[in-house]
Amino acid sequence: MLLSSILKELDLQLKGSDKEINSIHTLSEAGSDQLSFFNNDKYKDELSSTKAGAVLIEEKYAHLLPQDTVAIITNEPYLKLALASKMFAYKLQAKEGTPKAGQDCDISKRANFGENVVLGDNVIVMAGVYIGDHVTIGDNTIINPNVSVYHNTKIGSNCIIHSGTVVGGDGFGFAHTRTGEHVKIYQNGNVIIEDDVEIGSNCTIDRAVFGSTIIRKGTKLDNLIQVAHNCDIGAYSILTSQVGLSGSTVLGRNVVMGGQSASAGHLKIGDFATIAAKSGVTKTLGGGKTYGGFPAVEHTLWLRSQAKLALLLKKQKS
C-alpha cells in the first residue's frame, strides 16, 4: 500500500516522497519497499546504514537516517509500529483445501488443510492435525496426532513433530499506550524448520514478528519447550524438557540446554555451549563452555560459589 495511506491510518504526516510499502522489517533487514522503526538506542548505529524506505522515528534522531529513507516523525514509534503491523497481518480464513501431495503419502481423513499446502514424498499426517495455508513439508516427515501448523510455515525433510505441538502461533508482542493499554504487534513472519529435526510433544514454536523463527538442521527438542518469536536455534542443538527461549535468542551449533533452563531475549549462546538444568542466561555467552546458575556463569565458578555459600551458612549455625 502507499506510505501516505499507512500514515493516514496512523494519524501521521508524510514529509517526503510517497512510495509503495509491502511489509515491515527491522532497520538492518528492511529494504526500500519496507517500513521500519527506531525506539532503542541499542540500534542507533544501524540508522545510517538502513535501506528501509521509511522509518518511524523521534525527531531528534531523524538526521541520522540516509537521505533516501523517509523519516516518519512520531513520539511513539513503537506504538505506531504496532498499529501499522495490523495493516499487513495475514488474513486468516476457515476455508479448507486439498494438499498437493507427493508419492506414497499417508494422510488421515481426519486431518485438515488450508489452501496451497505442499507435501513431499512419504509424508505421514495423523488424525487431528491442522496444517494452514501455504505450508510446505519435505519428504519423509511425520506429523503426529493433534499437531497444529500455522500458515506460511516451512518444514524440511526427515522431521518428526510429536502430538500437541503448535508451530507458528503468534509471538508474545505488545506495545503499550501512555495510559497502560496493551496494543498487539501482529506477528507477520513465519517459522522455518530445517531437515532432520525432531520436536517433542506440547512444544510451542512462535512465528517471527518479521522474518523467520528458525530451527536448524538436526536439532532435537524434548517435550514442553517454548521457543519465542525470531529465535534462531543452531544446527544439532539439544533442548531438554521445559526449556524456555525468549524472543530473538540465537543459539550456535550443538548447544545443549538442560531441563527448565531459560534465556532472556536478544542474546547469543555460542557453539558447543552447555547450559545446566534450571540455569538462567541473562547475557551473551561464549561457546565451548558449560554454564550454570542464575544468572548463568561458568559452571566451575557457580559450583565454587555454592560451596562457599554452604560453608558460610554452616559457620553461622555453629
**β-sheet bridge partners, residue 237:** none
CATH of the domain at 194: 2.160.10.10
Q: Are residues 156 and 19 in the same domain?
A: no
Known active-site residue 229: yes
Decide if 310 is inside a domain.
no
CATH number at residue 15: 3.40.1390.10
- Write down the catalytic residue from 134, 229, 266, 299: 229
Beta bridge partners of 142: 124, 160
Please report the pLDDT score of residue 130 as a whole number.
Answer: 98
Is the pLDDT assigned to residue 318 strictly greater than 80? no
Residue 60 lies in a domain: yes
7 and 37 belong to one structural domain: yes
Domain co-membership, 162 together with 32: no
Cβ pair 50, 28 in contact under 8 A: yes
**From CA 224, how far away is CA 34, in angstroms rounded?**
36
Indicate whether 195 belongs to any domain.
yes
Burial 203-239 (b: 16+ CB within 10 A, else e): bbbbbbbbbbbbbbbbbbbbbbbbbbbbbbbbbbbbb
Asked if 122 and 226 sit in the same domain, the reply is: yes
| Domain extent at residue 136 | 100-299
- Which pLDDT score is estimated for 316? 82
Nearest to 122 by CA among 100, 139, 101: 139
Q: Is residue 218 part of a domain?
A: yes
pLDDT of residue 315: 82
Q: Are 139 and 121 in contact (CB under 8 A)?
A: yes
Q: Is residue 305 situated within a structural domain?
A: no
Domain count, the chain: 2
In terms of domains, do 125 and 229 share one?
A: yes
Residue 274 is classified by DSSP as E
317 pLDDT more than 80: no
182-225 residue pLDDT tens: 999 999 999 999 999 999 999 999 999 999 999 999 999 999 99
**Mean pLDDT score of the chain:** 96
Same domain for 48 and 182, yes or no, is no
Residue 307 located in a structural domain: no
Do 133 and 268 sit in the same domain of this protein? yes
Same domain, 178 and 251: yes
**Are 43 and 113 found together in one domain?**
no
**For the ranges 47-61, 131-145, 300-314, which has the lowest average pLDDT?**
300-314
Instruction: Identify the pLDDT of residue 16.
Output: 84
Residues 25 and 116 reside in one and the same domain = no
Task: Report if residue 277 sits inside a domain.
Answer: yes
